Each structure stands twice: as C-alpha cells, then as structure tokens.
Structure 1
C-alpha cells in the first residue's frame, strides 16, 4: 500500500488548531504530528523545528490579512463600514490564524507581536484615509470590541438571540461611523 502523501498544509492546520485549543506549550512537534496524522519524520520533512511552523503560520496570517486589507480598500460601503461588519467572529481562516497567533503573542513571541502591530497599522492607515487618523483608532477599537465579544459569545446558547444582538450592535456602530464622517 502506498504511503499517504504528507500535506504541509495539514501539518500547519494541525499546529494552528493545537495553538487555539491547548496553547503554545502543548503544541509540541509530537502533538502536531499526531493531530495531522503524520509521522514525526514527515512533519520534520516540512518543518525542521517549531520555529519553522511558527514562521509559516505567520506567513499565512500575513497573506490572509493582506487579502482582508485589499477587500477593505475596495469595499463599496467604505473601509470603516467594512471593518466594522467584518469584525464579528465567523470562524474564518483569518479568525482562526489570528487566535492561534494570539496564543504565540501571549508567550511573548516577538516576531508575532511585530506582525500583529504591522497588520494593525495597515488597518489604521486604510481607515485614516477615510475618517482621519484620530477617528481611525476609534473605528479600530470598535471593531476590536465586536470581535472580542463575538468570539467570547461563540459558545452554547441561543444563537438567534446572539445574532440579533450582534446585528443591532453592528448597526449602532455603523451609525456612529457615519457620524464620524460628518
């Protein structure tokens, strides 16, 4: 029986999932290999060490953030409205990689912190083009608050009620953004 091909992305996906679920310390090479369904040697073929996996995860984050920033710039409703609307936890690849990378930042991984700062600055720059630099920070904080609260509410419960409340929150924040533009 031929050997199952080793998928680099499957290993990276397993690393991302373990970071989210159990944190950086428990996301060992052995745990990642087991989660990905590959041998440790197969994992090491693609990633010689944990830092190589982290580097690839950060590259994934940068790529997904670049797509998000491009969509933000092209949004017909404007960058600020796009940012607010897209700030709800939706379990997207960008959401997942951000949470995984946050687990790295929690343990003071400096490159992760540097990359997050760069992405946040890019968001601010795009927002500032539309609403000015001071208001750009307010919009970013609105989005950060929505994201954080939606992520925390992602557990069990009446999802229709939560969705309705989040929709009302988004509407109120979009109205506030309109006032900022005036």
Structure 2
C-alpha cells in the first residue's frame, strides 16, 4: 500500500478517536489501536501527537478548499453559493459521517497551541473572501455563518441531515445571500 494511503488511514483513525472521545482521547496509542498498527508504525508517519494534529489540520484545510472550488461556478456570488452548497451537500451525502468527523479536527487543533494559528488562518480565508465576490457582502457573510451553524447542528441533530430539509435551507440561504428574499434588498 502506498505511503499516502497509509497516512490517510492513520488520519481517519485519529478522526474516529476524536469523534468518539474528544481531544482528551487523542493519544498516539489510541490512534495506533484504532488503525490496527503498532505505535511504532504510527510514529513512522507522525513523529509526535503535534505532527498528527498538524496532518489532520492540513488535510481538513485542503479538503475544504477543494470542496469550495468544486462548487464554485465563477459567477458573481459564486463563492457564497459554493460555501453553502459544499456545506449542505456533505450533510446528506453518503459519506456524511466521515465528513462530519473531519470537523472534530478543530477540537484537536484547539488543544495544540501551534495549530491555532493555521486553523484561524483557514477560517479567516473561508469567512472573508476577496472583496466584491458578493453583491450583498453582509448578507453573504450571514448566510455563510448560518451554513456553518447548520453544519455544527447536524453533528448532533439528525433532522438536519434530511435531504429535503437540507435542500430547502440551502436554497433559503442562497436567496438571502443574493437578496432574493426581499425585493428591496
């Protein structure tokens, strides 16, 4: 098996440990046990817990950026539509549990002081895109924040994973962001 695949399997195992037990459960031994490898096998890929968390954060940021790019159609307001589509689509996709687990990484990053900067930079970029990408910037910001709220709540409230409800909420957020909910906007 290629090294990159093994590395992803180890990161998946770390996410499983995090999603079940929170940041306090994330130990190198727990991840090794989850992945079915020796602690030495884990240390070959990640020399410390900090390196493991760094790998989790880097993968989260890369995957999130790729998701946004995938949904971005290049039209005015496309970033916010991509943000909302990416967020809401993954709540109802077949891999929703895996995708939601990725956000447990943020909890782990909060326990590693050197990771708070990279995660903050990523959120800064996601929440504050380049100026003039949206016709109504404040509305777009509110819609992105609401999409994040939907995401966080879907981790605990299964109703928010319902495809039809999700589709309606997503459409309402886009309409709000683009001023279509209010004729005077």
TM-score under structure 2 length normalisation: 0.76
Q: Is the 8 A contact 1:30 1:40 kept in 2?
A: yes
Unaligned runs of 5+ in 2: none
Instruction: Indicate how the Cα distance of structure 1 residues 93 and 158 shifts in structure 2: closer, same or farther if over 3 A, else same.
Output: closer
SS of residue in 2 equivalent to 1:48: coil
Number of aligned residues:
173
For 2:144 and 2:78, the matched residues in 1 are separated by 14
Shift of 1:69: 3.5
TM-score under structure 1 length normalisation: 0.77
Unaligned runs of 5+ in 1: none
CA RMSD of aligned residues (A): 3.1
Aligned residue runs from structure 1 range 101-180, under 5 A: 101-107=105-111, 109-123=112-126, 124-126=128-130, 128-154=132-158, 162-179=162-179
Q: Is the 8 A contact 1:33 1:39 kept in 2?
A: yes
Shift of 1:173: 1.8
Aligned residue runs from structure 1 range 18-167, under 5 A: 18-74=17-73, 78-88=78-88, 89-90=91-92, 91=96, 94-97=99-102, 99-107=103-111, 109-123=112-126, 124-126=128-130, 128-154=132-158, 162-167=162-167
For 1:111 and 1:42, the matched residues in 2 are separated by 24
